[in-house]
Structure 1
Amino acid sequence: MEEVIKLTPDDHADKAGQLNNLGTAFFRRFERLGKLKDIENAIHVMQQAIDLTPDGHADKAGQLSNLGSAFFRRFERLGKLKDIENAIHVMRQAVNLTPDGHADKARRLNNLGNAFESRFECLGELNDIENAIHVKQQAVNLTPDGHADKAGQLNNLGSAFSCRFKRLGELKDIENAIHVMQQAIDLTPDGHADKAGQLNNLGNAFQSRFERLGELKDIENAIYVMRQAINLTPDGHADKAGRLNNLGNAFSCRFEHLGELKDIENAIHVMQQAVDLTPDGHADKARRLSNLGNAFSHRFAHLGELKDIENAIHVKQQAVDLIPDGHADKATLLSNLGNAFSCRFEHLGELKDIENAIHVKQQAVDLTPDGHADKAAWLNNLGKAFSHRFEHLGKLKDFTEATVAYKQAAENTSSRPSTRYLAACHWANLCSKYQCSSSALDAYTVVLEIIPQVVWLGQTVHRRYEELPNIGRTINAAAAMAISVGDFTRAVEWLEEGRSIVWKQILQLRTPLDELHQQHPDLADELSRVSLALDNAGTSKLHDIDSEIEHQSAEEEAQNHRKLAAKYEQLLKEVRELDGFGSFLRHKKFSELAPAARNGPVVVVNVAKLRCDALVLCTSGEIVHVPLSKISYTQAEALHSKLLSSLQAHGVRVSRNGDRATCLARKNNQDHFGSVLADLWSHVVQPILPEIEQAVSFLFENAHHSLPHITWCATGALAFLPLHAAGIYGDPTRNMNISDFAVSSYTTTLTAMLGSGSTPKQDLNKIPSVLTVSQPDTPGLPSLPAIMKEVEVIQRYASPDHTCHLTHELANVQAVLGQMDKHEIIHLACHGIQDLKNPLSSAFALYDGKLELNALMRLSLKNAELAVLSACQTATGDENLPEEAVHLAAGMLAIGYPGVIATMWSIGDKDAPLISDKVYANLLGPRNDTEGQKVKLTPAYALHEAVKHLRKEVGETNFVKWVPFIHFGV
């Protein structure tokens, strides 16, 4: 081709075309091999072609477009700003010269969009990415379905959406990116040269969404498609290094989430390959070095080998030195370097490292505009560096700078909620540690505001539960700080706001909208429709990925779920702007929570590292504060461990499938039961009782005549401990326990005790109807022969006209659901199954399958009074989620039963019938005329008497037998 051009005179009509073709050939060889000389030659001869082509010539636009592409590629290779400016300039000319309807119009718009996107990545000017999306969308719209360019243009549009997401953090952008990128891949046949690049881009988008939402399937998908992209990219290809770098980032990201060493080893391996394959002078060299440095830092944090952090600082410093001033990535690389300095300071304590960390992190913050999605992360990093120096040197200025940085990070609404939440927690912890109570309360207020965005309705229930363990401890710390300054009202409100978060979200979606419907029926109908759809989306079980990308239907379902959540939030905002609806579905104020104590005091026990306290809600509306100075967070954890050891020693905490106790002792476990109950008495319960004496007159004077009713609402490790049995046993001279002074119940939240369904029925003359569900021989599960004794007991006391018994094949899921609303009391004598991963799948095992809470919660139970769960571990909960009440008893409260009798661990076959006998005798009274006038008791008092009887039968120190039976609600 070069020989032909030499033989063609300059004024020949074909000369320009020949030069343009030669330039295109150089360009293609550069694309394949990445040799800089080829792109230099391409630009040179393409410029000659344009100079020889007169204005108005039909080929002028195409030649300008080609030259723009060459400038663009050289910019990608060398990162010189002049090249991207030239690219945009000539590409704009090309687009303007191309008439509407021309076959190449879409392609040229697409190229111009790519150039805008690249300049945005370099300079960070928001206008560029807006222009990129605009012209790329035009290109897609102009390209008919079936056209060979359609896939590439969709892929490029997705890249622009992904880029804007990283800048602004709006979830809609990354959802759109994944959607159109997946379309592009579906349209591209296997073996096509563009397939690898499209897979790589989709992998990046999955990773970005994982970093935003934390759904594990996204990072799994990212790694899967990135590996495909690399396998499709031949050695020697110019893009090989970039794709290796991206895969390394994904491995590193998964390592941070799961902590598996293999991932960070893989990350370092492929990132080192990427760096080695990237020639000096390449525009991406700095970014790839910084990523490799991050991987070294992660491994250092995991293994503590000094060589890793030395390597991290070395390569990150190289990266910063290579990146030009004014480049949009400069702030990221500086912050990464600062993190490495901070990490080495924490390890070695050399002041110079923290000085360097603050210096470069401050630069990163200063270079990042307000509203940037990464601003909170850089501010949070800076705050940590100031905090470290403050703790090292004790200078007040560093403390102030740290709190300012944390505060600014927490309030940067464009950033990820998880980043903002961490910054707010750091702010609160720092202020709490150094007794700046007012600032700590301000910080915790922000924490509470961000939590709904972290535990978001747009996520699956399982994902929301993953976020909650640390949040629960933070809420307890916030309440402790409020208590320390005497703000008991705020402490109660915060504890209520931070408990059973997911349960309340689910119930909120099922809240009747009667008042709204009366005044604004259209809005109420729309909110009902979205609520129902969002409820279904949140509790559905998405498919797990196998050896390929998850099914498209699952991806669409997940995206639809998040769109519904956004729509729901928008509708709530509209409702709250209406007159009289400002507090619609907002967290309750104390004035709304106080009626929870109308039937007796409610004792909220807060366990936090700062302090432990009881807040007694009295029937008068007063809050009585009781400092619990004899117990600490650590001691509460130790008591819980001792209890577990005792239960394991007795063999009653053996599984989650609800098997009745076999009482086989376990080796290497000690029975601390008596000491646990004694410590609960002396450290928790006994200090509280005198303080509520005035709230409940006759508490001590008439203790044996008419016992008052106390409801416990405990947090932290105390949520799993039997406060209702606290006492000193086995010593006739000192015997004393709470049951001598009060009847105890529990509640998951104060809200659970409010509402029409939370008042005990006062019509004692009305004979309640009982639905008994028994499964002595559940298919696939061990037999429970003693269950029939429970049935006989119930039939002894319940009127034949007011009872229904479903057993064996008659006790199937649909039959039970159909009967529940017809009876005030339900007695479930069967296996209970607790599902910790998805609590709504916790269930009662029936003849034809599981009666799940998810199905139960769709009922509207207007007549419900009491649920007796004669299954095992129905109130056990998840030890990692003490504030969430993840158990069957909580679920029955949630579906409308104001009272629930449940068990804390596996119960004995002989004990359940005895308890049932006494409970129903006390609830329903005997059916003979001689004792017909006997006073009938409410469920809490009925269980109290029944347990007292069982205690005498089995011996009061046989704790494992009688302690597990508890009452929830009113």
Structure 2
Amino acid sequence: MADDVEQYRAALKRCPPGHSDRPRSLNNLAASLQERFMQRGVPSDLDECIELNRAALLLRPLGHPDRSLSLNNLAVSLRERFTDRGVPSDLDESIELSGNALLLRPLGHHDRPFSLYNLAVSLRERFMQRGVLSDLNECIELNRAALFLFPSGHPPRSHSLNNLAVSLGDRFRQRGVPSDLDESIEFHRAALLLHPLGHSDRSLSLSNLAVSLQERFTQRGVPSDLDESIELHRAALLMCPSSHSDRSQFLNSLAVSLRERFTQQGAPSDLDECIELNRAALLLLPPGHLSTVSLFTQQGIPSDLDESIELHRAALLLRPLGHSDRPLSLSNLAISLRDRFTQRGILSDLDECIELNRAALLFFTPGHSVRSTCLNNLALSLQDRFTERGIPSDLDECIELNRAALSLSPLGHSDRPTCLNNLAFSLGDRFRQRGVPSDLDESIELNRTALLLLPSGHSDRSMCLSNLALSLRDRFMERGVPSDFDEAFSLFLQLPHISHAVSRRDLTVAKSWITFAEDANHDCALIAYQTALKFLDQHVTLLSPSSRHFDVVRMASASLAVDAFSCSIRHGALTTAVELVEQGRAVFWTQLARLSSPFDELSLPGDTGGALATEFKQLSFRLRSTFDKSTEDQSPQIRQLTMQWNDVLSRIRMLPDLSRFLLPPLFSDLQKAAEEGPVIIVNASQHSCDTLIVLRDQNPVHIPIDISRTKVSELSFDFQSVAEQFGSSNHQNTLVGILRKLWHDIVDPVVQALKKSDVQPGSRIWWCPTAEFTLLPLHGAGPYEKGRDNLSQIYISSYTPTLAALVRARQRFSQYTSTQYFVAIGQGNPDSGNELRCVAPELADIAKRLVPIVSSFTSLEDSDATVQGVLDTLNHNQWLHLACHGMPNRQQPFESSFAMRDGPLMDIIRSNWENPEFAFLSACHTTVGDEKSPDESIHLAAAMQFSGFRSVIDWTARGLRWRCTRL
């Protein structure tokens, strides 16, 4: 490059003033200097280039055939200097020169499209700096004209398409006209078609289209836009090898899209993949790269943040006053300091962040496109400091800055709803600090205005609804105006209808409304519970039923079902109580049942119905298999399969008599559980403890329990202690005391109610306990007094975790044959655990009793009782006796297992058993699950039941040798 410059200097010396070739020599030297500036960034090269272009222009007066070329060259070099140094006069002069060049290139001139293109680029640059919408409108019209003159197949056409698409996207953000965004997307698609596989610009086109689709998703909430955006980002990433200069940016863009989908839909796999992509991007960035801040924000690695801050300081020192990138360095350092304050609470970081934001704001003069963002950043940091120190002036300044940012986002601007919400939030803060009613009133009106600007489907609409509802709730608490509460609750009820998927945030909002409604003793509490349970059901549909998601659901659903049951009872809605407690309990088993539900029971007439049934079964199998594998790189596959599965499900529900297929069951469906005997739901809630008897042909019978949940927890704890000390000398008296307490407070009132309902002694009853009651032996309750019967002498007790499980088991049993294929499995010498010497005699006794009466009997012992040997045998037997160690896992209950010769048997629920009917578990700890979430019933006995066994007898239930049938 240096050789070219010197050669052109020598050529210019050979063309003194007056020489006919001097203008051309000036032009050639200017072009070579500009190219060297682009390579090396030496400012003097660009300055000399501009002066040479001016000299060439003077030698090409009006009428000269090459005047338009000189005008264009000078315009381009001035625009380049503006980009480097930010001097406004350079950009204004560039636009004026480009306009003059265009006038000299009328319609038909072969260079007219290039002049149109260059002028459009400069006008967009000025719009970005000063925000004058007329510049942007003219830019768009010039881009349209240039595109018209670049025919199909012309090399610059793709660049023209891209520029037009980008400028339309800019105008959409300013005016909010949906057609601008739609047209922008179509032009990006057209540009992509001109960049086929192998084209150097294909990855950039993919990325541009992906960003526009993500923006449309934000506006309208259509999941397919976000999903396509993610797939386009993936395709762009695949085209960038590890050494590609854009790879880190593409990694980050894909991570942002995945984080957006996680925020909207709550699928943890998206967030997991997002973090891994950010880690990969971080490895490609040199220390101090400006992207370090955004990567830390999603990863939270403290060492990266510390290094980022120090390197941003170093970068700032290299960008003194007057440097075009100084405001960017100020802003980036401020952001990283605020992040560190958020992480560690160092007040000096926050103070410095505020001062840096103030300094950056001075550079972004009124009209600059970034000014509103800088105002917002300063406002946020001041609000942080107010929250930390309570200095009123910080909050007042924050409000004024938010007002200024709002004034820079006029009607139609895509940031206006956000600015309205920010100002509303800070005014709400000031109301809570000073109690000035006008602040709360203005906050509510701002939220109302923001809500009007967010169309149905917009990703921020849910948050805006929540904020407005909470502000109205605050005003109701302040002034007691019923209309505020009614409006607030009506807004809350809109939440289920505006999201395509539910996140944990929606569940949190719903639970806050439950708390408020309960505290206010308002009639809407029951509706709040119903809404929250609907959210829970939708949220769980997006999660694989595995250990890694168990904690997520446990936190989201804690006490929700039992409290909903109590609320329904208090409102006299007994059938609703049954429906809600079913909907909120054992949600993981419910999800597994959805994916495994047999389709044979459905009558689908015609070829269409048969094809639909086949499609549903295939998708259910594929989705469950994908969930089972649970690898992170399968998250796009899970997403796609879930969408297809939901689509088929919607079509099935359009068929006659199938409108509620796989929806939470109604009471009329659940009442079938009582066809062979009453089902007693025993519930412990923080609000009340109740028993509800579900009968075959009557309305439920409610029996209040005069006991608190705290007392139930104490009884449960005492019983667990007794179970762990089984065999000690003093456990008997404690146990009898617990059983007497259960009898007097709970079981005896139930027995009296059963007798009044004509349930004859000797009948079979099913207990369906919730919460802490699941850990107590209700079947063993009794007065233990001379002359009085205990429960076991009055009724035959069985258990079921849910009513739906009992109904489902009986439906499957109706398909069974009368033949009994029985297998007895015993493992007395497992790979871990103590030796069980009684196993061999136990299996011998079982064989002696059963061989004469069953169709087939198989015994599997010791060396034959391996994991694979057991699974193979179970696939061909309907009846099972299992004698071995049970190995519960309290931290990860899905990993609980039976101990076999060569390892743990955990794949119970994934076994493809043929018509399982009866299981007798002669194993320890088979009903030990997660004590923090007893309603999920994630334990070995429940796994056997889910696998299809109609009846499960747990001989060693809860560590005590009582016989209790699970179904």
Please say whether Structure 1 and Structure 2 have the same fold, judged by a TM-score greater than 0.5.
yes
Spell out, residue by residue over 1:105-127, the C-alpha distance to the aligned partner (whole angstroms, 9 max, x if none).
22221222222223333333322
Does residue 595 of structure 2 align to residue 509 of structure 1?
yes
**2:830 aligned residue:** 778
Does residue 623 of structure 2 align to residue 534 of structure 1?
yes
**1:827 aligned residue:** 881
Q: In structure 1, which of residues 181, 186, 197 is the aligned counterpart of residue 233 of structure 2?
A: 181
Which SS does the other structure have where 1:772 is aligned? strand
Alignment of 1:886-897 (within 5 A): 886-897=938-949
Does residue 668 of structure 2 align to residue 614 of structure 1?
no
Q: In structure 2, which of residues 912, 915, 936 is the aligned counterpart of residue 859 of structure 1?
A: 912
Contact 2:357 2:378 in 1 (8 A): no
**1:684 aligned residue:** 746
Contact 1:817 1:856 in 2 (8 A): no
Structure with max Cα Rg: 2
Instruction: Structure 1: give runs of 5+ residues left out of the alignment.
Output: 544-553, 653-660, 700-705, 908-960
Judged with a 3 Å threshold, the aligned counterparts in structure 2 of structure 1 residues 37 and 818 are, in CA distance, closer, same or farther, namely: farther
**1:318 aligned residue:** 401
Per-residue deviation, 1:79: 4.1
Spell out, residue by residue over 1:190-239, the C-alpha distance to the aligned partner (whole angstroms, 9 max, x if none).
565544443432232122122123344544554565577678778999xx
CA distance in 2, matches of 1:194, 1:873: 56
Identity %: 28
CA distance in 2, matches of 1:210, 1:664: 55
Alignment of 1:593-632 (within 5 A): 593-628=670-705, 630-632=706-708
Per-residue deviation, 1:98: 1.2
**1:484 aligned residue:** 570
**1:144 aligned residue:** 196
Contact 2:685 2:709 in 1 (8 A): yes
CA distance in 2, matches of 1:170, 1:709: 52
Query: Bigger shift: 509-518 or 378-387?
Result: 509-518
**2:580 aligned residue:** 494
Equivalenced residue count is: 863
CA distance in 1, matches of 2:400, 2:715: 50
Does residue 953 of structure 2 align to residue 898 of structure 1?
no
**1:945 aligned residue:** none
Which SS does the other structure have where 1:713 is aligned? strand
Per-residue deviation, 1:573: 1.8
Q: In structure 1, which of residues 694, 706, 727 is the aligned counterpart of residue 756 of structure 2?
A: 694
CA distance in 2, matches of 1:262, 1:966: 57
Per-residue deviation, 1:690: 1.4
CA distance in 1, matches of 2:416, 2:800: 53
Spell out, residue by residue over 1:464-498, the C-alpha distance to the aligned partner (whole angstroms, 9 max, x if none).
64235433533333333332232222221222233
CA distance in 2, matches of 1:132, 1:631: 65
Contact 1:601 1:710 in 2 (8 A): yes
Alignment of 1:449-460 (within 5 A): 449-457=534-542
The structure whose RCO (Cα within 8 Å, separation 6+) is larger is 1
Per-residue deviation, 1:815: 2.4
**2:803 aligned residue:** 750
Judged with a 3 Å threshold, the aligned counterparts in structure 2 of structure 1 residues 635 and 851 are, in CA distance, closer, same or farther, namely: same
Does residue 966 of structure 2 align to residue 968 of structure 1?
yes
Q: In structure 2, which of residues 855, 862, 877 is the aligned counterpart of residue 808 of structure 1?
A: 862
CA distance in 1, matches of 2:272, 2:423: 28
Contact 1:358 1:385 in 2 (8 A): yes
CA distance in 2, matches of 1:882, 1:390: 37
Does residue 185 of structure 2 align to residue 133 of structure 1?
yes
Which SS does the other structure have where 1:877 is aligned? coil
Which SS does the other structure have where 2:122 is aligned? helix
Per-residue deviation, 1:893: 1.0
**2:613 aligned residue:** 524
Which SS does the other structure have where 2:541 is aligned? coil
CA distance in 2, matches of 1:352, 1:373: 29
Per-residue deviation, 1:834: 4.5
Contact 2:402 2:422 in 1 (8 A): no
Which SS does the other structure have where 1:475 is aligned? helix
Does residue 468 of structure 2 align to residue 382 of structure 1?
yes
Tell me the TM-score normalised to structure 1 length: 0.79
Judged with a 3 Å threshold, the aligned counterparts in structure 2 of structure 1 residues 512 and 404 are, in CA distance, closer, same or farther, namely: closer
Alignment of 1:69-88 (within 5 A): 69-88=121-140
**2:312 aligned residue:** none
**1:939 aligned residue:** none
Which SS does the other structure have where 1:155 is aligned? helix
Query: Bigger shift: 447-456 or 291-300?
Result: 291-300
Alignment of 1:111-126 (within 5 A): 111-126=163-178
Per-residue deviation, 1:966: 3.9
Per-residue deviation, 1:143: 0.7
Per-residue deviation, 1:56: 2.5
Per-residue deviation, 1:558: 1.2
Which SS does the other structure have where 2:147 is aligned? helix
Spell out, residue by residue over 1:581-609, the C-alpha distance to the aligned partner (whole angstroms, 9 max, x if none).
33433333222222211222110123333
Equivalent position amino acid for 1:753 in 2: L
**2:453 aligned residue:** 367
Q: In structure 1, which of residues 471, 487, 496 is the aligned counterpart of residue 557 of structure 2?
A: 471
Which SS does the other structure have where 1:844 is aligned? strand
Per-residue deviation, 1:154: 0.8
Per-residue deviation, 1:711: 1.3
Judged with a 3 Å threshold, the aligned counterparts in structure 2 of structure 1 residues 783 and 685 are, in CA distance, closer, same or farther, namely: same
CA distance in 2, matches of 1:12, 1:453: 72
**2:645 aligned residue:** 568
RMSD: 4.2
Q: In structure 2, which of residues 32, 48, 53 is the aligned counterpart of residue 5 of structure 1?
A: 53
Which SS does the other structure have where 1:754 is aligned? helix
Per-residue deviation, 1:87: 2.9
Judged with a 3 Å threshold, the aligned counterparts in structure 2 of structure 1 residues 612 and 95 are, in CA distance, closer, same or farther, namely: farther
Q: In structure 2, which of residues 369, 387, 395 is the aligned counterpart of residue 283 of structure 1?
A: 369
Per-residue deviation, 1:381: 0.9
Equivalent position amino acid for 2:468 in 1: L
Spell out, residue by residue over 1:798-818, the C-alpha distance to the aligned partner (whole angstroms, 9 max, x if none).
327743222233222332223
Which SS does the other structure have where 2:802 is aligned? coil
Per-residue deviation, 1:616: 0.2
Contact 1:376 1:415 in 2 (8 A): no
Per-residue deviation, 1:356: 5.0
Alignment of 1:716-795 (within 5 A): 716-727=771-782, 738-755=791-808, 757=810, 769-795=821-847
**2:933 aligned residue:** 881
Contact 1:373 1:414 in 2 (8 A): no
Contact 2:525 2:567 in 1 (8 A): yes
Judged with a 3 Å threshold, the aligned counterparts in structure 2 of structure 1 residues 798 and 623 are, in CA distance, closer, same or farther, namely: same
Does residue 105 of structure 2 align to residue 16 of structure 1?
no
Spell out, residue by residue over 1:732-779, the C-alpha distance to the aligned partner (whole angstroms, 9 max, x if none).
679985434433221111122124646989999x89553222222323
Equivalent position amino acid for 2:539 in 1: V
Which SS does the other structure have where 1:56 is aligned? coil
Q: In structure 1, which of residues 386, 392, 399 is the aligned counterpart of residue 485 of structure 2?
A: 399
Per-residue deviation, 1:463: 6.5
Per-residue deviation, 1:718: 2.3
Judged with a 3 Å threshold, the aligned counterparts in structure 2 of structure 1 residues 762 and 397 are, in CA distance, closer, same or farther, namely: closer
Per-residue deviation, 1:248: 3.6
Judged with a 3 Å threshold, the aligned counterparts in structure 2 of structure 1 residues 678 and 415 are, in CA distance, closer, same or farther, namely: same
Which SS does the other structure have where 1:692 is aligned? helix
Contact 2:682 2:769 in 1 (8 A): yes
Equivalent position amino acid for 1:333 in 2: C
Contact 2:765 2:795 in 1 (8 A): yes
Instruction: Structure 2: give runs of 5+ residues left out of the alignment.
Output: 1-48, 306-338
